[in-house]
Chains A and B, each alone.
Chain A
Amino acid sequence: MKNFLITLGVVLLACAAAFGVSYLVGADPAMRAAAREGDAMLWLRAEFRPDAAQFAAIKQLHDDYSIACSRHCAAILAARERKAPAGEVAALEKVCVDAMSAHFRRVAALMPPGQGARYLGIVLPRVAGYSHQGAPNVRVTP
């Protein structure tokens, strides 16, 4: 009985060790770092593997777009604040969506071959699937 229990322990240890090694090997350290930092640009880098030049260009595009995004944001917030007609808010949101989609296409064009289409396949459905349900969050849109 004692030897059987020792055997059981050895088997469980082997199982746990195999799990640990396989988990560490299968994990993506760059993605883990991005998740830990909550850094979307690190995610972009980990997920699509642009080279340094591509990443710098993408980052520049994002920085430039953030100015346009701030303008759209201010316009939408002002319209909401003054209880503008729904049509006006919708028109402002359409400008935002069009600008955002164009920005994402420009970013995709800077990605390594094959990654651009994958990038658009990830981000565009999230733009289209946006619903006005409270503050930005990190919920995954199905």
Chain B
Amino acid sequence: MNPSRTPDSLSRTLAGWQVVAPRDPQFRTHVRARLEAQAVAPPWTVYARRYAAAVAGALALAVVFGALTGHERARARVVADSERLATAYVEGLDARAMQLP
């Protein structure tokens, strides 16, 4: 046994030992942030069930909006095609529109 390390000297050392750790005021925040970052997100089906009303509402709105827009665009295209062809039809029979080659 080392004579300099007797139980008495150890007790004295321990009695006089003080740990001075710097305080981190953001310690709790950092810990919480780390925990949240590591948390596993629930599967989408669970998420969708949890927010069922909002998800169903958004889906319904999207379908109605898409359907109305699609129908409107289709009708606009039919009208534009018809206008263009009507003009071509009349001009095809209009001798005034004929030009010298």
- Interface of A toward B, CB cutoff 8 Å: 1-3, 6-7, 10-12, 14-28, 31-32, 34-35, 38-40, 43-44, 47, 62, 65-66, 69-70, 72-73, 75-77, 80-81, 93, 96-97, 100, 103, 122-123, 126-127, 130, 132, 134-141
**Do residues B89 and A123 form an inter-chain contact, with CB atoms below 8 A?**
yes
Of A19, A23, A76, the residue contacting B95 (CB under 8 A) is: A76
- Interface of B toward A, CB cutoff 8 Å: 41-42, 44, 47-48, 51, 55, 58-59, 62-71, 73-75, 77-78, 81-100
Q: A18-B63, A26-B70 known; A130 and B86 CB under 8 Å?
A: no
Of A3, A23, A93, A135, the residue contacting B99 (CB under 8 A) is: A135
Complex CA gap A20/B91 in Å reads: 34
Query: What residues of B have a CB within 8 angstroms of the CB of A22 in the complex?
Result: 66-71, 74
Complex CA gap A77/B100 in Å reads: 7
Of A14, A100, A134, the residue contacting B66 (CB under 8 A) is: A14
B interface, over-half SS: helix
Can you name 11 extra interface pairs (CB under 8 A) apart from A43-B88, A96-B96, A132-B96? A17-B66, A21-B67, A24-B74, A26-B74, A31-B81, A40-B88, A40-B92, A69-B94, A126-B87, A130-B97, A136-B97
CB-CB nearest in chain B for A47: B82
